[in-house]
Structure formats: structure tokens, C-alpha cells
Amino acid sequence: MLENLEKIKVRFQEELNAVNSTEELEKIRVSFLGKKGLVTDELKNLRNLDAEAKKTAGMQVNLLKEEIEEVIVTYQKQLEEKEYQKQIESTERFDFSIPSSVEVGTLHPITIVQKQIEDIFKTMGFIIEDGLEIQTEYNNFEAVNIPKNHPARDMQDTYYLENGQLLKTHTSAAQNTIMRKYGAPKPGEPLKVLFPGRCFRNENIDASHENTFFQLEGMMIGDDISISNLIYFMKVLLTEVFQRDVKVRLRPGFFPFVEPGFELDINCLICGGDGCPTCKQSGWLELLPCGMIHPNVLRMGGIDPDKYTGFAFGLGLTRLAMMKYNIKDIRLFNSGNLKQLKQFTK
Ligand code: PHE
């Protein structure tokens, strides 16, 4: 029996040395001290011994039992501590004591220019409106006098959606909705609206073309609006934005929704007119197409073209921002390159 106890002790020690977790330790506890455990077996065997032998052997077995119990308790504590540490190490922790360095964001250069123009026009009594980005074919084309199969539809490569709607190709898509919203202006109180927005065209992207760009459209409708009003507002706009005299040229331009239509070009501020990739070597940039609103467009908007006239302009906001900030590549705007974008502050 004593020999047996010695063997059990050695075996326990060996098994204990191989233990790595509290679960393994529990298994050992069961196999030595459990109901069918090795030590428990020895306790059961005591009854086969005579009284004298039972006394000494009994003492020995109980001693071993206590020893094993004690070792297991100590080991259990050590393993629990180890497992806890491991868990902590594998958890990502947030150190609240580290001082924070919060970086404040900046406005996108296009937003800056947009807000600036909005402010100029607000002081001249214009309302700011928002146009939808997903539009019906009717609003984007028909309502601005571009019927189906009209060649002008090819001028704007359109992204159509599965439901037959489209991503608006120009801010003019909001003209009809705005005319219907405000209705015919009262005498002497012309309707003056500014509606900036993001536009989409299926373009090959290069230094001066993007498939996602911003325009800013303006419209003034009243009983006495003429080309001279149009020219006046365009002049104010450009002088305020560039804060200096900018060379411009006006030439006839064709847009189905204006008659007459003009292209207001500005002298390329990047190359000074010598020719560069941004102005396609021409020295001029098409910046401000405009004209007198076509009678058909007024009529479709519920405004009587015999009583009212109006002008509209569709400023290339993205292009204007390029000019203002001397940005040579249009791709920068949608690049998400914050290091570059945040240098423009006003
Ligand atoms: N919608 C035209 C375009 O995107 C621009 C424009 C607007 C022209 C208003 C004239 C008047 O090309």
C-alpha cells in the first residue's frame, strides 16, 4: 500500500508538471481525488486491512490526499491569474490618460466657393434651392426643351438607372420643379433662385474631365428681364469670386433651353492664356454658359412666356474652383487626398 501511495505521488507530480490550464487541472483533480480517483481507491482499500495497518496506512493516505488538495488549490490560483493576464493582453485597451489631439476638419474647396457665391447672390435677393441628384428623364431633358431623340441628348452622356430614372447631367434638371414650386412672379418681384448641385456624366476622366462634378445654376424670371440683367449679374459674380478683373469673352452658344444662348469664357488663369492641358491649349475656359430662358421651358414650368422672360446660367463650379485655387487637375476634388484638399481655406 505504501508503495502504491509513493507511485501515486510521483504520477501526480508528473501529470501536474504538464498542466497548462485550469480545465486540465480539474481533470487531474478528478482522476486523483474524484469518486473513482486513485487516492479515493486507496481510501476504499483501507477496509481490507487489519486494524493496526489501517491506522498507519489511513494516516498516510489522508496525508497524501491533503497534500494533493493543497497543491491543486495553489496551482488553481496561479493558473487563473495566468489566464486572466492573457485575456487582458489580447484585449485592445483604451488609455484614457493619453492627451488627445483632435484634428479639426476643413471645408472642401468646392464647398468654399459654393458658399461664397451663395452669399453674393443672397445679398442680391436670390433664394437658394436644392435639386435632386436622381431625376426623371422628363425633368433632366424634356422639361428643358430636349425632347427624345434630340441630338442635344448626345452632348451629355447620361448614367441611366434600372428604374428608367437617371443621375442628373446638369443642374438645369431642377428648373421645372422650381418654376412650379414658386409659380409666376408678381409684377416687380422677379423670381431669383440659385441652385447648386452635383452632376454626373459618363465621361472619360482626365485632367479637365470628371464624371462627377458640381454646377451652380441661377435663374431670374420676371416681367421685365433682359440680356443686360444677365450680363450685370455675371459680371458681379466673376469680380466677387476672383476679387479682380478677369478677362472674359462672350460668344454665341447653343443650349436648347435658352434663346439666345451664350458661352461666357474666362481667360485661363492657370497658364494666363498661353495654353495648358486644363484649357486644352486654347487659353480659354468655358465657364459660364447662359442665355435667355426658352419660351417652351417657361411654358412647361407653368409660366406664360408671353408675359414673362428670364435668364439662366449654369456655372461650372468645379472648374471655377480650379481657376480660383490654381488647381491643375480636376481629379484632385474627388481624390479624398486630405493633405492636398485642406490647404484651401478661403
Ligand atoms: N445646363 C447646361 C449644361 O450643363 C448649362 C446651362 C445652364 C446653359 C443654363 C445655359 C443656361 O451644359
Q: What is the mean pLDDT of residues 195-205?
A: 94
Contacts of 113 (CB under 8 A, 6+ apart): 241, 317, 320, 321, 324
Q: Give per-residue pLDDT as tens, 307-321.
A: 999 999 999 999 889
Query: pLDDT-based confidence at 326, cuts 50/70/90?
Result: confident
CA 5 to chain CA mean position, Å: 73
Between 245 and 28, the higher pLDDT residue: 28
**How is the chain split into domains, by residue range?**
2-90, 109-341
Average pLDDT value over all residues in the chain: 90
pLDDT, position 278: 77
Ligand 1 probe mutation, 155, 171, 175, most atoms within 8 A of CB: 171
Distance between CA 265 and CA 180 in Å, rounded?
31
Q: Give per-residue pLDDT as tens, 175-192.
A: 999 999 999 999 999 999
Nearest protein Cα to ligand 1, atom 5? 314
What φ, ψ does residue 284 adopt, rounded to 5°? Answer: -125, 150
Q: Give per-residue pLDDT as tens, 86-102.
A: 877 777 677 778 877 77
Nearest protein Cα to ligand 1, atom 10? 290
Contacts of 103 (CB under 8 A, 6+ apart): none
pLDDT, position 328: 85
- Give the angle subtended at the CA of 303 by the CAs of 133 and 137, to the nearest 5°: 30
pLDDT, position 260: 96
212-222/258-267 β-pairing: unpaired
Nearest to residue 179, comparing CAs of 314, 290, 304, 302? 302
Residue 221, pLDDT above cutoff 80: yes
Pocket of ligand 1 (CB under 6 A): 170, 172, 215, 217, 255, 258, 261, 289-291, 312-314
Instruction: Give the start-end residues of each E strand in the chain.
Output: 127-128, 134-135, 166-167, 191-200, 212-222, 248-252, 258-267, 284-293, 309-316
pLDDT, position 191: 98
Return the CATH fold of 109-341. Answer: BirA Bifunctional Protein; domain 2 (3.30.930)
Are the beta carbons of 183 and 302 closer than 8 angstroms?
yes
Are the beta carbons of 319 and 331 closer than 8 angstroms?
no
Grid cell 505521488 in the structure block, residue: 9
pLDDT, position 250: 85
Taking the CA of residue 293 as reference, the ligand 1 atom at the shortest distance is 11
pTM above 0.75, yes or no: no
Nearest to residue 217, comparing CAs of 317, 342, 76? 317
Query: pLDDT-based confidence at 33, cuts 50/70/90?
Result: very high
Nearest protein Cα to ligand 1, atom 6? 314
258-267/284-293 β-pairing: antiparallel
Most confident of 45-54, 59-68, 121-130: 121-130
